[in-house]
Structure 1
Amino acid sequence: MSGQREVQVPERLLGDPEFIEACRTHDFAAVFTLLKKRAGIYPAQIARLCELTPSRVGEIMDGRRQLAQVHVIERIADGLRIPGGMLRLAARSWEAVEPSNMPLSIDSSTASTEAGIPRPALDDDALALKRQLDSSRSADPGLAEIFAGQVDMIRRLDRRLGAEPLLPQLRDQIGQMEGLLRHTTAPGGRQPIAEILTQAATLAGWQALDLGRYRESWQLHENAKSAAQQSGSAALLAHATAQQAYVLLDLGMPDAAVQQVQHAQVLAAGRVPPLLQSWLHAAEAEAQAAAGNGDACRRALDSAERTRPTDPADPSLPFLFLAGAHLDRWRGNCLATLGADEAVRDLTRALGEMEGFNRAEAGVRCDLAVVLLRRGETDEARRQALRAQELATDTHSLRQRRRIDQVLQQV
């Protein structure tokens, strides 16, 4: 866009309180309207600079379309040279070389004085750091709530659509939160960002695992554990630690997975809600089943049922699902792994309540096919496996497709 740099937001508008508020709240109808009225930047120019269609810009200005995708907001920041911090983004790469466009509280590009003592001009590296620190001042509980809403939306879409179309967007959000966490100086800003970053990295770690990206999944879980430690949340740390054990399970290391989950239980002891205690017992049961430890698996399943609260929904743990048939699904998976025919009862019961959990339903049908095949019910096993294959394909779940392909090879 070097030939288009004559069109950009003037400094007087960058300092305008109304424009600042519109950017902060992502009210792009107001942003684009102010650009037109106060800077003479018209919709066609906005569209060209930000790689949008003119019709889309018009819909945004008319209030008929909202913008929430991070990569689109980044295009707007870069196209119009709006500093990242104003749009709740990390500092943009061009900010280090275009200091005049960043509304700093102090003009650091020239020498200033304090109590009559000259202050030396900052070099480029120092200016870049200062801008990152300035842009991270927006890290506060309110911003954390916005990130939490975005992560929750991805979590809900993930159940239906799978990981492949969502993981890139989640990676972007993780990068933004990591930048804020490293540079925020706002009082009370670090903990809420760390909490949401933990949830985002744990979700991304599960998505990477589902796509068969084991190394990436392991590292994302490491990032989640690090953020959880900064948040001070025993629940988030225990959850990220236990979920990481699934990487070990998929790599054929069940004994190590058992140890990992048991370590998570130690981290959680007496410090987490009953719902997470129940989830940790169920996770141990799955690892014990994979290790061939039938008695230990059944004890863990009993503990999961015993500790599950009457109301298995906790607003502080939006990433846990043990309501309705979800624990039945888990029990059925464990019993199927152990070769127990009684798994059919739990799996059949769970199937009726998998609406909206497409990837989970694929797993239930695959487990059911395994048990039916073992019982010699080949035709029904094939029917369940084929339906599971459809669901796994729809959700781009390489993890489930691998399991289902093994079943279909036997029918």
Structure 2
Amino acid sequence: MPDADRPQELPARLLTDPEMINACRVRDFGRVFRLVKTRAGIYPSMIARRCELTPSRVGEVIAGRRQLLHMDVVERIADGLRIPGHMLGLARRTWETPQALVVTEREAPQVAGPEQQPPASLPGPDVDSILALTTRTNLSAATLAAFRSSIEDYWRRDDQHGGEALRPAVVGQLRYVVGLLKESRPPAIQNGLYGIAAELARLTGWTYFDARQYNQARAYFTEALQLAKAIDDRQFMANVLACMSLQATYQDKPADSLALVTAAQDQARSASDTTPRVLSMLSMREAFAHATLGSKTSTHRAITEAHRQFEQIQASDPDPSWVAYFDEPKLIVDTGIAHGRLGEAATAEPLIADALRREAHTNQRGRAFHAFWLARTQLDQGKLDQACHTATQALEPASAVASERVSGHLREFYDQLAPHRQEPVALAFESRLRELLPTVSGSLHP
């Protein structure tokens, strides 16, 4: 964004105004935007451009019809309007430090000690690289099956523990498979390698998305698209575009989300082997995009289509392995979340609760994620005791998985508790939170 479009800072008199300080402290962005408009002359269209929001979203926030809770949106507002990080409960922003005071750390010289030497029983890396040049890897259908089995295992462990620790292994395997693509092979083997590389790139992108590192996620998703396009795997391209659409909803970019999922549906419909389960999943992602835009009619229509497609599923359908997760409990919980995004809490609550009862207990991240959604819908209906009980139950699976996305939903629920923070049930929830997730609780907005 050009510097001319963005002031270096808000007027000091506004930043020191008690009303502005209080509005920032509780993250009441309706008040913040109104104050910025009246005291600094920055109108809603300019706020939208600087904070990477849609003008309609800014208007809804100012009118009190919508809240902004996602952490990445809060960070964009801080950076776009030049609100110091501490006012919004954030870390010091990079632009708050004058360039003249930025110190570049120098790397200490590396002195190899005895403990840094490789074991004598292993050849050095230079020997490994020489041997690799003289060895042609013979691949067969069994080799491809082994690759696919390892990918399925990566996904299982990602569900249980998060992808942070897995990422180095996944990236290493991705680069290894991409290297194998440089050799000439029979078409069936070569196409299989392209598909495996595409899935490894998507998995890497997913681990970055789950960590809320969106630029890196987008780069790997794009690599996955290119690999799938090389073998004209349109169903898989649709899958990657659906992942990118979901990421856009987290970045509060609903127009991008809708464009991406529409492209995904176009790819899927142009493929001759697309199954009803894939189309159902894509319709549900479309519902998420419409719900984030606040369009009830379009959201309900997409939900209806998702259920219609799901009813067409046959046991004999040649579903790709990557869509197997989209079973009936997943359809139901996503339906509830779509209604929740629209503010239809009473409709959403029983759906999410039913799906949670039927979900696999091995998917720690999914259970934590969906439980926080259930707690939010309960709180939206004024069911404080139930909401705190549900959220407390979600803390244990949340503590078992390294997922910034789950932590973000926890923070959003905690922020929603602000008016009830001194109630006994809220205090009990906070106590348990600080016990199980001390690193997350230390970053919560007071």
TM-score range, shorter chain: 0.5 to 0.7
Output aligned runs, 1:51-62, within 5 Å. none
Where does 1:336-347 land on structure 2 (aligned, <5 Å)? 336-340=340-344, 341-347=346-352
Does 1:278 pair with 2:284? Answer: no
Change (3 A) 1:208 1:314: farther
TM-score, length-scaled by structure 1: 0.67
Change over 3 Å in CA distance of 1:135–1:253 after alignment to 2: farther
Residue 409 (structure 1) aligned to one of 408, 415, 419: 415
2:333 aligned with 1:329, yes or no? yes
**Pairing partner for 1:367 from 367, 373, 377:** 373
Which residue in the other structure is 2:353 paired with?
Answer: 348
Task: Say if 1:202 and 1:224, in contact at 8 Å, map to a contact too.
Answer: yes
Q: CA deviation at 1:247?
A: 2.2
Give the deviation of 1:165 after TM superposition: 2.0
Q: Distance in 1 between matches of 2:315 and 2:239?
A: 16
Amino acid in the other structure paired with 1:287: A
**What root-mean-square deviation, in Å, do the aligned CA atoms of Structure 1 and Structure 2 show?**
2.1
Instruction: Read off the aligned partner of 1:393 and give its amino acid letter.
Output: S
Matches within 5 A, 1:83-122: 94=127, 98=130, 101=131
In 1, are the aligned partners of 2:164 and 2:211 still within 8 Å (CA)? yes
| Per-residue deviation, residues 245-279 of structure 1 (Å, max 9, x unmatched) | 12222221011111110011111114212111111
8 A contact 1:192–1:231 mirrored in 2: no
Partner of 2:399: 393
1:312–1:279 Cα change, 3 Å: farther
Change (3 A) 1:293 1:270: same
Alpha-carbon separation, structure 2, partners of 1:304 and 1:159: 24
Distance 1:185 1:256 in 2: 38
The answer to whether the 8 A contact 1:289-1:335 is kept is yes
SS in 2 for 1:138: coil
Equivalent residues in 2 for 1:225-374 (5 A)? 225-271=225-271, 272-308=274-310, 309-311=312-314, 316-320=319-323, 321-340=325-344, 341-354=346-359, 355-374=361-380
TM-score by length of 2: 0.62
The equivalent residue for 1:61 is none
> Is 2:152 the counterpart of 1:152?
yes
Are residues 280 and 260 of structure 1, via their aligned partners in 2, closer, same or farther at CA, if it must alter by over 3 Å? Answer: same
In 2, distance between residues paired with 1:253 and 1:313?
38
Counterparts in 2 of 1:256 and 1:394: CA distance versus 1, 3 Å: same
Return the offset for 1:136. 5.4
Task: Name the CA distance, whole Å, in 2 between partners of 1:174 and 1:356.
Answer: 26
Provide the C-alpha distance between the structure 2 equivalents of 1:332 and 1:400, rounded to a whole number of angstroms: 17
Q: Does the CA-based 8 Å contact 2:275-2:319 persist in structure 1? A: no
The question of whether the paired residues in 1 share the 8 Å contact of 2:275 and 2:318 is answered with no
Q: Deviations over 1:227-246 (max 9, x none)?
A: 10122211111111121112
Distance 1:390 1:202 in 2: 28
Q: What corresponds to 1:13 in structure 2?
A: none
Could you say what secondary structure the match of 2:247 adopts? helix
Q: 5 Å matches for 1:12-51?
A: 48-49=119-120
User: Do the aligned partners of 2:249 and 2:288 also contact (CA within 8 Å) in 1?
Assistant: no
Is 2:123 the counterpart of 1:80?
yes
Contact 1:204 1:220 in 2 (8 A): yes
In structure 2, distance between residues paired with 1:154 and 1:311: 27
Native 8 Å contact 1:278 1:305 kept in 2: yes
2:385 to 366, 379, 388: 379
Q: Which runs of 5+ in 1 are unaligned?
A: 1-46, 51-78, 82-91, 103-130
Contact 2:238 2:267 in 1 (8 A): yes
Contact kept? 2:234, 2:270, Cα under 8 Å: no
Match of 1:178 in 2: 178
Whether the aligned pair in 1 keeps the contact of 2:291 and 2:342 (CA below 8 Å) is yes
**Structure with greater Cα Rg:** 1
Q: In structure 2, how many angstroms separate the alpha carbons of the residues matched to 1:255 and 1:196?
A: 31
Kept in 2: contact 1:212–1:399 (CA 8 A): yes
Distance in 2 (CA, whole Å) between partners of 1:313 and 1:245 is 29
Q: State the secondary structure of the residue aligned to 2:416.
A: coil
For the residues of structure 1 that align with 2:150 and 2:318, how far apart are their CA atoms? 16
Aligned CA distance change for structure 1 residues 165 and 313 (closer, same or farther; 3 Å) = farther
Could you tell me how far apart the structure 2 residues matched to 1:230 and 1:49 are? Answer: 43
CA separation in 2, counterparts of 1:386 and 1:290? 27
Q: Structure 2: where are the runs of 5+ without partners?
A: 1-117, 418-446
What whole-Å deviation, never above 9, does each CA across 1:359-386 have from its counterpart, x for those lacking one?
A: 1111211111111111111121122223
Aligned 8 A contact 1:164 1:396 in 2: yes
Measured against aligned partners, the alpha-carbon deviations of 1:14-57 in whole angstroms (never above 9, x if no partner) come to xxxxxxxxxxxxxxxxxxxxxxxxxxxxxxxxx9446xxxxxxx
Q: Would the alpha carbon gap of residues 136 and 338 (structure 1) be closer, same or farther in structure 2, given more than 3 Å must change?
A: farther
